[in-house]
A and B are shown apart, each in its own frame.
Chain A
Amino acid sequence: MKVPEKSVRDTTFEDLAMPLFDQLYNFARWLTQDTTEAEDLTQETYAKALRGFSSFQMGTNFRAWMYRILRNTFLTSRTGLKTTVALDEETNESLLPVENTTPESSLIEQASREMVQQALTDLPVPFREILLLCEVEEMSYQEIAETLGIPMGTVMSRLYRARKALRDLLRKKNEGVRNGM
């Protein structure tokens, strides 16, 4: 969502920001895991972005800018400070599939939407947010890098680790369901 420089004079903050409302709220709700906090976070994001709109550089990515404000606001909130865990990005793990006994397609086939939602909720925030930006918001690696303020290489390795963690959680949940039967 790059804003062409020539349209600076004609574009209002409202024109650019309101179409992002539903997705920003969804992202905020996933981060906070609480309706009231998500509403406060969304409202604060819009207020901050409106105040800082004069410094937004037209021609750059507005969507990434909004998400960055939302995320930074979350990280400095009480819940954000509590939930964020440090991630060791200096991993040398190869980006190869994980060896396991259940084929992935069968694993996913057995996982209900509810199970995937629960697994996403159980993921650490840095993994949850990168998966949401990539899969739900369909951001490119470049956009994710801009939003999270991390290098492209880190985007790829974190995404790999997030997917691996999600697969592990789904596998455990599937085993739990099978054993419970």
Chain B
Amino acid sequence: MACEQWREQLDRYVDGELDPAQAGALSAHFRGCADCAAEVLGRVQLKRSVQMAGKRYMASADLRHRIAKSVAAKPRHGAGWYWKVLALPALAVLVFSVAVNLYVGHEEARRQRVYSELADLHVAALASSTPVDVVSTDRHTVKPWFQGKIPFTFNPPELQGSEFTLLGGRVTYLAQAPGAQLIYQVRKHEISVFIFQDRGEEAGLPAGFGHPQFFNVQTWAQNGLRYFVVGDVGAEDIRALSKLLRDAG
């Protein structure tokens, strides 16, 4: 089949609207056709961009409350006043635990959102024809390259005696804030290190480990900077590189 005929199916492929046989045939075609593969990658990226950009507005708690109240199902049986008195302490505990759960759930959702975005940045950089803008294994070349490009400076670690190799770096953005992305290699796997200014509690995340889309992520704040180490390698490698960065920072 000519490329033109395949390409008529690209949108349906990206939207998951092809049946498995058609999707399989198209996937096989991509393996042998760089043009169609690039075309489908562009469409996937557009889809992801709209997906991220489209989740933009949050309703006020007041509106939610008003609507929830207006559609609340009416209780079938009226409870006696004594039951209401007995239920008050239980209700207070319930409200408190719901509030705690909501807060924890919100924090977890926010953490996952940031991790997913970083995983996207990592994959997009590796898929790019120029994954790094400064190509060098020398930290003394990479660090000065960022001068004037980002509003802070940082210390790349000394890698002698470790398994890691620095491949280079590029400027990146998270939530419209500029930062540095350093790409390291360990046993043919690439790991991205993202460094941004730590913008306080409201924007920062607690140090910890996450697993968005099969990637491991380690994050911490140090000297006013927020570090994220993202890669598809094992947790041990992520921790080892994180330790080198911590010691250098």
Chain A residues in the interface with B (C-beta under 8 A): 12-15, 17-18, 21-22, 25-26, 29-30, 38-39, 42-43, 46-47, 50, 94-97, 103-105, 107-109, 111-114, 116-117, 120, 131-132, 134-136, 140-141, 156, 159-160, 163, 166-167
Contact = CB atoms under 8 A, between A and B. Distances in A.
Chain B: number of interface residues, binned into ranges: 35 or more
A166 B46 contact: yes
Contacts of B43: 104, 163
Nearest to A120: B53
A14 B71 contact: yes
Contact of B67 (A21, A29, A104, A105): A21
A181 to B, nearest CB: 14
Interface in B183-236: none
Contacts of A46: 67, 70-71
Interface stretch (B2-10, B91-99, B142-150): B2-10
A108 B4 contact: no
B11 A25 contact: no
A105 B7 contact: no
Interface in B30-86: 38-39, 41-43, 45-47, 49-60, 63-64, 66-68, 70-73
Given A13-B71, A43-B66, A117 B53 contact: yes
Contacts of B73: 12-15
A132 B49 CA distance: 11
B176 to A, nearest CB: 6
A132 to B, nearest CB: 5
Contact of B46 (A26, A47, A108, A141): A108
B124 interface: yes
Contact of B68 (A14, A107, A167): A14
B17 interface: yes
A29 B38 CA distance: 34
